[in-house]
Amino acid sequence: MMKSTKSENNSRVLIIAVLFLLSGAAGLIYQIVWHRLLEIYFGVTMTAITLIVAAYMAGLGLGSLLGGRIAHRLKRVVLAYGIVEIGIAIFGYFSPALIHWIGQRTAGSPYPVVFLLSFLLLLIPTLFMGMTLPLLTQSFVNRVDTSGRVIGLLYGINTVGAGMGALITGFVLIGWAGLNGTTLIAVLLNFSVGIGAMALLGREESAPQNESKEAHPRESEDVSYRAILLAAFLTGFINLGFEMLWFRALGIWNKGTAYGFPSVLFVFLTGLAIGGFIWGRKADQSHDRVALFWKLQLSSGIIALLSFLFVASALHTPSLQPWIKEAFANPQQPIPPFVETASGLVFSRRLMVSSLFQYFLPAFALVLPASLVMGGGLPVLDRIAITSANIAGKRVGDIHLANILGSVVGSLTISFAFLAWLGTELTLKVLALLSLLFTSLVWKKRLTLQNKVYVLPACLVLLALATPWRGALYGKFYEIVASGPVVTRESSDSALALGFYSKPDSPAKLWIGGIQNSYFPSYGDYERSAFTCAGASRPKKILIIGLGGSNTAYFLTQMPGAEKIVIVELIDDLGTLLDQYVPAAQKTLADPRVQYITDDGRRYLYAYPNETYDLIFIDPLNSFTAGHNNLYSREAMQLYQSHLDKGGIFCAWMNERHSIPKTAASVFPYLELFRDWVVASNQEIEFDREYMNVGLATYLENSEGIFADGADISLTPDVIFEKYIGNRSCVLEEEKDTAILTDARPHLEYYYFFTPRGRSIRCG
């Protein structure tokens, strides 16, 4: 009979483990999709992204609290869990339409409203998601002495599912099925989990035969319950802080692509899952769980510092520097796994394996070691707090609420204060040293712990002193890439770098994140598209989305008749950096006609629906970077179209020559295509060569100090029109099989498994 009961319990645990794995995967699918949908209307600035994440996590925290409060009152907890999963599926099914409906009516809202709207939109599903772990904990924790193993298993399996969901969503699902199709996959997962839980476990469930112990909180292991909650809060703050540091540092390596977030999240969550399972079991066996928790927290700080030191030492290793430089020179990370053969581009498994290995190697080196230790924090705290099986769900709910609140505060603090004021390296030191606060938990036991109470903190402090100081990490990295002196700046949005020639007053190249954005002098390469569009619009009022290296913006200030130029730039502090070193930026930003705004381009247009322009020029980063599909999609083109004056011109620089012109041609009735840019309008386009010649003369006359002596800028109208390809009819004919970019199908960014198109459009 005992064996039969044990076998039945094992079967129940196995079933719920599989279901909770799928539930975790669905949760991360929703998170990625919902964030992406909200960013369309609220912007892809770091402020908007952080507020959306904070709103999502706040809902999870409230759900954890609610689940913990009701779990011990339910007689059929797994049945309730199944209903919750179905509730998530129902909301998920309607979520894209709901987000679009709300977003279209509130786009461009002030940032406090962004947080409130995101929170209210996601409250119901995140509330349900947060309830799941407390409910299952209450159902499956029947003995205190095995609660660590059970919680570690549930936490670990759900986190593994979340990591897998992040990876598959980023690399496969969105590119294959789009945002709406990916949402439906998550809906099916949640619905299957809910039905499975009720069908397989719900009918067999009876009131849990928990231990006959008090159901009221009491002190545990000489640590007050308040101290446990404070520890959970601090753990969330520190762990989220490290996660954001990893996103920042690795964002340079992965060049800010849409694959960066799911890749780092996959490695981080996988480490947390493995750590949760291992340390949850260890907590059951430990005679001093408070000391175990303290050791884990200080060790995670130590290992995080060691990982950064390892990366820093790799940057200073001469034998590795050529590999770093070569890998960084690739325009995309990860590199598309296609090779060119006589018969065209062919998918290469070998290139895929080597590409992904190279891509994930820095993440595994920097993120995985510390996350394996961090994963033990919550399960061990849960085990410390659970003094009776009857209150297991409530205690888990409280602790995870405190942890999530810490994560929310951490995300806001790190984004808006630490990274902007201290930079990555000093923020790393502060977060690691915050772990010393956990020493207060074991200070009374210092005689029992003997020298350990001093050794771990001493190691942590010494390593914090040894890690690079502000600017050293990125400075060395860009020095390798630039093969010369660099100046770096770090804001809340990105890491910036200017590489120089031999003289410190002569900048050579600009990097934004990991992408080379501009070079100086430009030799006219960046100005040609703006010159063409100015010749078609003869603009008085101009909107520029994307400052870049400021070459284009300065050129447009020199065009005859220009009265107002609004520059909307996503990256905070880019203008400040350029204004210090780049003559074109200095002249542009000092021009009284120029209004410089830090914001997301679409968000700005949504916020000012009645503003119209003679020329709208977009010059963002490369099209494969995260969020840039939002500037090239059909919906974005329609937005630009609505903000053009009569006869106004829309102009887009492009490094992708198929989907972008096809999308523009699907919206604008008139279009002219050049090699690297597209000119579109609501009315027939005519180029005024006389105006162009006058503008060029003015530009050259006022550009002293912009170009090196003897530089050939190649900017005559004749040279420009040599780049002409064809009109709208040509584009539609040549690209009839090319998919149009939309907000719901951002395949411009999710390029990895899609065969690149061959030759560019050829007409006539």
What's the CATH code of the domain at 540? 3.40.50.150
pLDDT band per the 50, 70, 90 thresholds, residue 34: very high
Residues 260 and 132 both lie in one domain: yes
Q: What is the pLDDT of residue 211?
A: 46
Residues 179 and 295 both lie in one domain: yes
Q: What is the pLDDT of residue 210?
A: 46
Sign for the pseudo-dihedral over CA of 37, 41, 43, 49: negative
Q: Distance between CA atoms of 57 and 696, rounded to whole angstroms?
A: 53
Q: What is the DSSP string of 276-310?
A: HHHHHHHHHH-S-HHHHHHHHHHHHHHHHHHHHHH
Residues with Cβ < 8 Å from 424, sequence gap 6 or more? 245, 248, 249, 473, 474, 490, 495
Q: What is the pLDDT of residue 372?
A: 95
Give the tens place of pLDDT for each residue, 657-673.
899 999 999 999 999 99
Average pLDDT over residues 474-498: 85
Residue 450 has pLDDT above 80, yes or no: no
Gyration radius of the chain's alpha carbons:
28
Give the tens place of pLDDT for each residue, 239-283.
999 998 898 888 888 888 889 889 999 999 999 999 988 988 888
Contact 415, 50 (CB under 8 A): yes
pTM of the model: 0.90
Residue 286 has pLDDT above 90, yes or no: no
Residues 441 and 551 both lie in one domain: no
Residues with Cβ < 8 Å from 18, sequence gap 6 or more? none
- In a domain? residue 308: yes
Strands 613-618 and 644-653, by their bridges, are parallel
- In a domain? residue 450: yes
Contact 244, 414 (CB under 8 A): yes
Q: What is the CATH number of the domain that holds 333?
A: 1.20.1250
Residue 77 has pLDDT above 70, yes or no: yes
Give whichever of 159-173, 313-327, 742-756 has the largest mean pLDDT. 159-173
- In a domain? residue 232: no
- In a domain? residue 760: no
Residues 527 and 403 both lie in one domain: no
Residues 490 and 607 both lie in one domain: no
Residue 494 has pLDDT above 60, yes or no: yes
- In a domain? residue 746: no
Give the tens place of pLDDT for each residue, 162-209.
999 999 999 999 999 999 999 999 999 999 999 988 887 655 554 444
- In a domain? residue 219: no
Residues 425 and 570 both lie in one domain: no
Residues 415 and 535 both lie in one domain: no
Residues 653 and 614 both lie in one domain: yes
Average pLDDT over residues 320-332: 79
- Percent with pLDDT over 70 in the chain: 91
pLDDT band per the 50, 70, 90 thresholds, residue 217: very low
Q: How many CB atoms lie within 10 A of CB 709?
A: 4
Residues with Cβ < 8 Å from 15, sequence gap 6 or more? 196, 200, 201
Residue 218 has pLDDT above 50, yes or no: no
Residues 674 and 719 both lie in one domain: yes
Sign for the pseudo-dihedral over CA of 748, 752, 754, 756: positive
Give the tens place of pLDDT for each residue, 510-526.
988 888 888 887 777 78
Q: What is the pLDDT of residue 144?
A: 63
Number of domains observed in the structure of the chain: 3
Among 760, 26, 758, residue whose Cα is nearest residue 344: 758
Give the tens place of pLDDT for each residue, 535-591.
999 999 999 999 989 999 999 999 999 999 999 998 888 999 999 998 899 999 999
Which of 454, 488, 517 lies at the terminal end of a domain, its last residue?
517
Residues 648 and 672 both lie in one domain: yes
* Residue ranges making up the domain that contains 667: 523-734
Strands 515-519 and 507-512, by their bridges, are antiparallel
Phi and psi at residue 615, in whole multiples of 5°? -145, 125
Q: Which two tokens stand for residue 698?
A: 């003015």
Residues 285 and 151 both lie in one domain: yes
Residues 286 and 341 both lie in one domain: yes
User: Considering only 38-52, 306-320, 604-618, which range has the smallest mean pLDDT?
Assistant: 38-52
Q: How many CB atoms lie within 10 A of CB 75?
A: 10
- In a domain? residue 256: yes
- In a domain? residue 743: no
User: Considering only 217-231, 296-310, 408-422, which range has the smallest mean pLDDT?
Assistant: 217-231
